[in-house]
Structure 1
Amino acid sequence: MSQQDDFDRGMKNRRAVLGDEWVDKSLNSATAFNAEFQAFFTRYAWHDIWGRPGLDHTTRRLLVLGMTMALARWEEFEVHCRGAVRHGVPLEKIKETLMQGAIYCGVPAANTAFKIAMGVLREEGLVPAPQSLAADARIAQHHTFSEPQLRVAVQGKGAPVMLAHALGLDHTMWDDLAARLATTNLVARYDQVGHGGSAVPPGPYTLDQMVDHAARIVREWGQGPVVWVGLSMGGMVGQGLAIRYPELVKGLVLANTTSQYPQEAQAGWSQRIETVNQQGMQGIVQMVVERYLSEEFRRTHPAFTQALRETLLRSDPAGYAACCHGLRDVNWTDRLREIRVPTLVLAGGKDVGTPPSMAKAIAERISGAVLHQFDGAAHLSVAEAPDEFEQQVRSLLARIG
């Protein structure tokens, strides 16, 4: 019966991180001169350090990439980069590690690291899709000069479309749809006040204030009137924009949203505000994820679900709670008949936060509004039914011409 020692335990970790091919090559090339050294770092590095319970292997892999990048140990960097890629470390996490290294290790080091990493991706058949930085393809990002400063991203060419995100998220919620629409339209999206890269002034915020911010962005952009595509909070802002600033809107997509909450739902919003103020985003994140995505989607798309969770946890609790005040008090119902632009109302059949009945109430009050339901989707219908969502938006754009 073989007896396992610290060398064997270290070797198990070493193979798990770097792969059998590299480790076998190293072991087979050992000599009487360096064999003790091989055994030494296998025990102490690969067992005593990589075997510690405090950090998972993905975190340790990323730390090693940053450290070898800082020290310009490029052979070690390449070995660990290849191991990370082959063992499923998300490319986004590797990219972010190298991006942060550009600040702390220097741009030349990051340049070399990205070059080596791209070589590894080519060898592994994982070359990322092209993303041109040409003037007509680049995503231009900036902040408004007026206060509060709001982060804006613009891409594409053509008739202007503005995308407005849901509570707790940011403009990256629209990455996929924005890229699709940018093939035919000039697309802008922004981080609403208290969210993402935008300012977080003291709250609470009213919905009228958020509508004023939207009007300011459209005016500063100088491309209006726009087709406004808003989901959830973005849809509430869109209703107010079309009512209070009709000259800035030529079409309206209101997805997974409401014009007014019943009294019992308003009480739920007050409880949510209290929870966030006391516990931060951790206190509500699970509830929000379960509302935003259907159970089936969460089960079949674990990576997306985890990314959503991480985005919500990064959201500023003060900004989130400040916006909740405005959403709790939304009350556009009696003014919806003032909206005179082509309007598309979208609902998720599994949406418990803003159920189809709320979408129907909006569509019934806007002259000529078209109502469409995504039967299998919950609150983030643009994520659960991206093709159908795009098709519906394009149907409105075609109506407007």
Structure 2
Amino acid sequence: MQALFADKQVAMTASGEGPPLVLLHSLLADATSFDPVVTALGRDFRVLVPELPGFGHSAPAPGGLEAVADRVAAAVREATGGRPAAGLGNGYGGFVLLLCALRHPTLFERLVFADCGACFSEPGREAFRGMARVAAEKGLPAIADTAMRRLFAPAFQAAHPALMAERRAAFLRTDLAVFQAACAALAGLDLRARLSEIRVPALVLVGEHDEATPPAMARELAAGLSNARFVLLPDCAHVPQLQRPEIFEAEVAAFLQPQVQPLVEPHAVS
């Protein structure tokens, strides 16, 4: 069931029972990219899946990523009644989650970053500038192939044509102005100096074939956080929940359930 929060500006679905778990989607995907894992996670958690500002039924949040994070934080706080939640962000959603944790430190008690980082390399920054430039000149269809390549490795695309058609259609529904603003924000983002401010336990996941946010970015993120564990997911690219949902869900559930998750020492990276 979908409801509106933060002065009716953020659409969010809720399912399952238990402590709250918030899932934030990628820029090149949408909230439905979590569908393969929502049911399993909903056995232990109340799973909240917002459509990020400017996506689906959620209103845009002008003012950059900070404004997006503040809007998401307001919606989460309302949806949970102020109860600390677990947060999981994939790609762009991971960067939003990182800013939420920095700007609203009591909002989340555990964090999962899936295929993101704290800062892009210069080639990574230029990739965002290039996608925004081509999209402005020719529209989103002109970069659809590029977007799919950043989500999935070529071999996976060839083996899953129906999923590729579904993901391409979802990408083409993205608002062009929101996409351009997000690309510009990600191209200029550098949160490395602030990572040590985040004290809650974190899990950093990344697909071994991720070209959008390569494993080196995720390793840098895990090393900069005060209490983080790093996991490389085999045979995955940028959206592991769509490629290996059983492995993705198992890693997330094990981390979020304290009774089966050992304490993580600061800077522990495996």
TM-score, normalised relative to structure 1 = 0.62
Higher helix proportion (structure 1 or 2): 1
Q: Unaligned 5+ residue runs, structure 1?
A: 1-139
Say yes or no: does 1:323 pair with 2:182: yes
Say whether residues 1:281 and 2:133 are aligned partners: no
Query: Partners in 2 of 1:354 and 1:164 — Cα distance?
Result: 16
1:230 — aligned with what?
89
Corresponding position: 1:182 with 2:35: no
**Residue 141 in 1 paired to residue 2 in 2?**
yes
| 1:214 alignment counterpart | 72
Contact 1:160–1:223 under 8 Å retained in 2: no
Tell me what 1:192 maps to. Answer: 52
Q: Which of 216, 221, 229 lines up with 1:362 in the alignment?
A: 221
Judged with a 3 Å threshold, the aligned counterparts in structure 2 of structure 1 residues 217 and 154 are, in CA distance, closer, same or farther, namely same
Question: C-alpha separation between the residues in 2 aligned to 1:352 and 1:359?
Answer: 12
Rounded Cα–Cα distance in structure 1 between residues aligned with 2:29 and 2:259: 29
1:172 matched residue in structure 2: 32
Q: CA RMSD in A?
A: 1.6
Q: How many residues are matched?
A: 259
Structure 1 position 145, deviation (Å): 5.0
Contact 1:236 1:330 in 2 (8 A): no
Cα distance, 1:223–1:172 mapped onto 2, change above 3 Å: farther
| C-alpha distance 399-321 of structure 1, shift in aligned 2 (>3 A) | same
Cα pair distance change 1:215/1:145, threshold 3 Å: closer
- Determine if contact 2:95/2:118 at 8 Å carries over to the other structure: yes
The one of the two structures with greater contact order (alpha-carbon pairs below 8 A, sep at least 6) is: 2
Q: Which residue of 2 aligns with 1:91?
A: none
Deviations 1:88-142 (A, max 9, x none): xxxxxxxxxxxxxxxxxxxxxxxxxxxxxxxxxxxxxxxxxxxxxxxxxxxx211
CA distance in 2, matches of 1:262, 1:374: 22
Query: For the Cα contact (< 8 Å) 2:205–2:231, is it kept in 1?
Result: yes
Query: 2:13 pairs with 128, 145, 153, which one?
Result: 153
Q: 5+ residue gaps in structure 2? A: 261-270
Structure 2 CA distance for aligned equivalents of residues 174 and 224 of structure 1: 23
Structure 1 residue 400, shift from structure 2 partner: 7.4
Residues 206-242 of structure 1: CA deviation (Å, up to 9, x unaligned) = 1111110121111111153110010001111111111
Runs of 4+ in 1 over 6 A off after TM superposition: none
CA distance in 2, matches of 1:207, 1:274: 19
SS at match of 2:36: helix
1:169–1:196 contact (8 Å) kept in structure 2: no
Q: Which digits, 9 at most, give the CA deviation of each residue in 1:63-105, with x for residues without a partner?
A: xxxxxxxxxxxxxxxxxxxxxxxxxxxxxxxxxxxxxxxxxxx
Q: Equivalent residue for 2:191?
A: 332
Structure in which a larger fraction of residues adopt strand: 2
- Whether the 8 Å contact between 1:231 and 1:256 is mirrored in structure 2 is yes
- 8 Å CA contact 1:194, 1:319 repeated in 2: yes
Tell me what 2:108 maps to.
249
Q: Is the 1:342–1:400 Cα contact (8 Å) retained in structure 2?
A: no
Q: CA deviation at 1:307?
A: 0.4
Between structure 1 and structure 2, the one with the greater Rg is 1
Distance 2:201 2:6 in 1: 31
Q: Distance in 1 between matches of 2:82 and 2:40?
A: 19
Q: TM-score, normalising length from structure 2?
A: 0.91
Structure 1 residue 299 and structure 2 residue 158: aligned? yes
Contact 1:159 / 1:185 at 8 angstroms: preserved in 2?
yes
Deviations 1:268-298 (A, max 9, x none): 2122112111222111111010110112211
